Structure 1
């Protein structure tokens, strides 16, 4: 998300006139990361605030947190938890309190959140009649289900709302051309083909420009409308999992096996040195400070301007969101 999805944060630092400055400036941001930590023999949905973990899953069954979005004083996290029937239940946690998005009859999961005004959009999937079907929930209620075509949208991994337009992207089943939807609930929804990607992991809109990110074969790439930017040369398996716009700069995060990769305007940096399996799942930028959430050798990690901070010795970090301290 978006985004699979995309937004920003503030970091203030100040040089001191004297070494004995009695009132040094401190970081004025809160960094939220969603993911899962291995606790008590299983993975448990977790959100970290400035590195401090809060369990979201009950711990009775395995759970995961895939997306986080902060609006005002409220922290929203999307993910899933297995029930007693071994079915994943798609969930939305608001300030740690869970709402079930599905009834547990079928397995389901939630991957992305986007908040526009007072509306909370969550994207994911539910298995229906043996087939994954992309779904969107709005304010806790089912909003849209992908139609059952041969090349249906199997899961919603990115949502972006601009004005009255809702953009939806994800994984397409079958062998058809990749595409994204605009206003899927409209009487005649708009479908935009993206043949230069095999999958869309992240979608961001800026004015009339639509940025999509993913991969084509083994090449990590993103598109600005139809203009392709290759991030890797295809010599190793690679993908772009997240894209973020900051002013005129385009940041992208993903991997080129085995390294976690961060690209700024197409120029790559290895965040883990490239010696162990790692990836970036989410990128967030504010005032030139870059945050990247992911995993490094099965550790849940958030990088701040390239410096890693381990959140869990065994776990995964899937999304990062940063806000000003209140």
Structure 2
């Protein structure tokens, strides 16, 4: 700092020139000490504010990703509490520093009408080229502050360029407001420098079982159109029905995924070219469809078509990471074999060449990497199947094709890739398999196992699906390290179809089959259980509806 150097030099000259036994320099020394202490306080203040800015970004990212807080630990220095260390279930820990109102620039965050948090400076949106600066996501950034020549400067590009702001005073060391933290048993409340409060769900206990966190349950599937032989594509929000199609064409939903405040649903509509198989009247082929909307704006749905209708196409799973949206499924060929496919932002890419049967069942993404799980039939063993994961379109085989194996569910936890599915030898029954970075562990015997859901947190898994009991009944189950739990008690035929987890709340969907022996009409109904207790779904046709996918959206209580 030029002014500090000039002042210090001047003081030194005065001290040297006037140095004698009678000269009392205590006043000048005190002034110099006070000045240095003020600069030290300003530097500490600047560091604390920059730490808080990074922490604000992490807090907003946690909301966008559905993360929640596991611990809040007081931070002390020299016997005084100066802030808190905050730990998240998924994200990295942060430090937030206390503070009180002052004259430093007030940099904060605010949610706009689009549901996205943007940075503000003294209550006004921070813009770059006319565009507001998002806090999180692929384009998210964190402003930085510095003090130079006793003025505040701010940078929006990680220190490449700086903009001069107001003078830095720091006379009492209270120039900037910190982040105030309050909490109850369910939430942590962060009061930001502008007085705005952001609320994040909390759950005490670290890796122990977590209490419930605020959330919305989305279920997707199909319902019979009354008086017709085809289905609506249906979305349920906390049990309340919303039709995604008008009933004019056979339609259904296969999968749902929540990414922050965005919800993505994939399924099919029979609106493609007419197909004549020689057995039935010509019928329209399935076309892949994606529906998307924002949490809280479920009626404002955007629909995208994913295939051209020349061949039957079925997207069965969806995921998102950053700015990319992925789906996975299959395309049916004229000889009834399938080609495994996936979509990146609506563009379809083949994962197999069609020379043998292949299916994609699931998809997960992290950063710029996308993982698709499924199976490929070996060319030299038509009764076999290779359990396969495609990373960015490149196949990685988990089995050698001597057995029939498949990957049905996939997820990433702490940088580790988990895949769950089933495998059987010729003439045998399916047994459940969990692969951790490609290494298999069998979690059932040969009991006839089907996997349709997987959740992993801190290495602990919940696998959902169904198995065939000794009685021949098909029962919906979840498996953990502690063993198996039957969900569909009392039902003879009930497949598992979906899994979602929110804290300690475990949701499971099933597809139960029965028959009305008076009319000989088949009955299909989909119970959804929360922690083993069935919850109500609003339906059009109570005897013919199926849920195929579940997902939870975590709620930011800040209005």
Please indicate the TM-score interval, normalised by the length of the shorter structure: 0.7 to 0.9
Secondary structure of the residue that 2:245 maps to in structure 1? Answer: coil
User: Are 1:168 and 2:372 an aligned pair?
Assistant: yes
Secondary structure of the residue that 1:216 maps to in structure 2? Answer: strand
Secondary structure of the residue that 2:309 maps to in structure 1? Answer: coil
In structure 2, relative to structure 1, the CA distance for the partners of 1:302 and 1:222 (3 Å cut) is: same
Distance in 1 of aligned mates of 2:467 and 2:66: 25
Distance in 2 of aligned mates of 1:227 and 1:14: 39
Give the C-alpha shift of residue 223 in structure 1: 2.2
Aligned to 2:308: 103
Aligned counterparts, 1:117-266, within 5 A? 117-130=322-335, 131-142=337-348, 144-148=349-353, 150-151=355-356, 154-173=358-377, 174=382, 175-184=384-393, 189=394, 191-195=396-400, 198-217=405-424, 218-234=430-446, 236-257=447-468, 258-265=474-481
Aligned to 2:287: 89
Give the C-alpha shift of residue 230 in structure 1: 2.8
Give the C-alpha shift of residue 325 in structure 1: 2.9
Give the C-alpha shift of residue 199 in structure 1: 0.9
C-alpha contact (below 8 Å) 2:454/2:463 kept by paired residues:
yes
C-alpha contact (below 8 Å) 2:213/2:503 kept by paired residues:
no
User: Are 1:305 and 2:535 an aligned pair?
Assistant: no
Secondary structure of the residue that 2:249 maps to in structure 1? Answer: coil
C-alpha contact (below 8 Å) 2:213/2:502 kept by paired residues:
no
Q: Which structure carries more helix by proportion?
A: 2
Q: Map Cα deviations across residues 43-80 of structure 1 (whole Å, 9 max, x no partner).
A: 22111000011111231121110111223443211000
Give the C-alpha shift of residue 81 in structure 1: 0.9
Number of aligned residue pairs: 302
Distance in 1 of aligned mates of 2:477 and 2:361: 20
Give the C-alpha shift of residue 137 in structure 1: 1.5
Q: Which structure carries more strand by proportion?
A: 1
Distance in 2 of aligned mates of 1:9 and 1:81: 34
Give the alignment's TM-score, normalised by structure 1. 0.83
In structure 2, relative to structure 1, the CA distance for the partners of 1:160 and 1:32 (3 Å cut) is: same
C-alpha contact (below 8 Å) 2:413/2:457 kept by paired residues:
no
Computed over aligned residues only, the root mean square deviation of the Cα atoms, in angstroms, reads: 2.7
Give the alignment's TM-score, normalised by structure 2. 0.50
Give the C-alpha shift of residue 27 in structure 1: 7.6
User: Are 1:115 and 2:331 an aligned pair?
Assistant: no
In structure 2, relative to structure 1, the CA distance for the partners of 1:9 and 1:164 (3 Å cut) is: closer
Q: Map Cα deviations across residues 228-262 of structure 1 (whole Å, 9 max, x no partner).
A: 3333322x422222111123420000001211001
Give the C-alpha shift of residue 120 in structure 1: 0.7
Aligned to 2:545: 315
Give the structure, 1 or 2, with the largest relative contact order (CA under 8 Å, sep 6 or more): 1
User: Which of 250, 260, 266 is residue 62 of structure 1 equivalent to?
Assistant: 250
Aligned to 1:273: 489
User: Which of 15, 28, 51 is residue 239 of structure 2 equivalent to?
Assistant: 51
Secondary structure of the residue that 1:83 maps to in structure 2? Answer: strand
Please, which moves more after superposition, 116-125 or 272-281? 272-281
Please, which moves more after superposition, 128-137 or 160-169? 128-137
Give the C-alpha shift of residue 145 in structure 1: 0.9
Distance in 1 of aligned mates of 2:259 and 2:452: 23
Give the C-alpha shift of residue 208 in structure 1: 4.7
C-alpha contact (below 8 Å) 1:9/1:287 kept by paired residues:
no
Distance in 2 of aligned mates of 1:324 and 1:205: 19
Q: Which runs of 5+ in 1 are unaligned?
A: 1-6, 16-25
Distance in 2 of aligned mates of 1:68 and 1:108: 17
Q: Which runs of 5+ in 2 are unaligned?
A: 1-64, 69-183, 187-211, 275-283, 294-300, 425-429, 469-473, 514-523
Distance in 1 of aligned mates of 2:356 and 2:396: 13
C-alpha contact (below 8 Å) 1:32/1:321 kept by paired residues:
yes
